Structure 1
Amino acid sequence: MSKPEIMLWQQLRKKPLGIKFRRQHPLGPYILDFYCPAAKLAMEVDGLSHDMGDRPEYDLRREGFLNQQGVESIRISAQDVLDDAEDVADRILRYVQGQLS
């Protein structure tokens, strides 16, 4: 896991409020950075590498596959996590709670 992923995982683990998250969760041919099974939500922490080479096309294929599986995918800037991991985790939790309501 990258530093932003570790920072976000630490925040998600201590704020679950009954919501479970998995890290490095396999789904088909892909490994999701984070996954919330109850909300069928995948979370990808995007660093600079996501803009390089064939990575944008790979990310599009991955997102299409996830959509076919009924899994919503959100992308989170690694810089946002580095700047304030607690705020990012709070926003994710509010989003998941809204999906589950």
Structure 2
Amino acid sequence: MTKLYNKTSEKLKRQRLRREMTKAEKRLWDKIKNRQLENCKFRRQYSVAEFVIDFYSPEIKLALEVDGDSHFQEGAVEYDAERQEFIESARINFLRFTNDNVYHNLDGVLDVIVDGIKSLRTLGVLPPPSPPLLRGGERWDNRGLNR
């Protein structure tokens, strides 16, 4: 059987990404590390095949992605969709946030993550869509915050 998680071939990439975390990633990491949310353990820069997830909880198979400017360049949306589809095929759930989400409504982001943790622990699925989370018309759905 082929190893899918944290492959040795991706180790240097994971280490580099840990060293070079964005400000938004650092801000979120400060709030989720050390089991601060619902006693849920998250790891930084966890890989699935050749793809690296920003934060991952193996206990509930929850990936957290913080999307910065590079995720909105030409071709990035399609790449992210294919990447997410592959990772979800490994039965990993996704919550996706933008840097703006983290900078301007960190409490709302944390609430969405807590709801996701509770729902995955009790029902095994992410919660249904909720009311708007942020200004500017962004809404939460099963795949994250969407405009």
Normalising by structure 2, report the TM-score: 0.63
Q: Which runs of 4+ in 1 moved over 6 A?
A: none
Task: Pick the structure with greater CA Rg.
Answer: 2
**Per-residue deviation, residues 31-71 of structure 1 (Å, max 9, x unmatched):** 10011112211111012221102211210111111121111
**2:68 and 2:84 mapped to 1: Cα distance?**
17
Instruction: Tell me by how many angstroms 1:95 deviates.
Output: 1.4
Normalising by structure 1, report the TM-score: 0.89
**Per-residue deviation, residues 52-101 of structure 1 (Å, max 9, x unmatched):** 02211210111111121111112112101011324322320221112101
State the number of aligned residues. 101
Unaligned runs of 5+ in 2: 1-20, 123-147
Task: Find the partner of 1:74 among 75, 82, 95.
Answer: 95
Unaligned runs of 5+ in 1: none
Q: Which has the higher contact order (CA 8 A, sep 6+)?
A: 1
Which residue number corresponds to residue 43 of structure 1?
64
**8 Å contact from structure 2 (residues 38, 117) kept in 1:** no
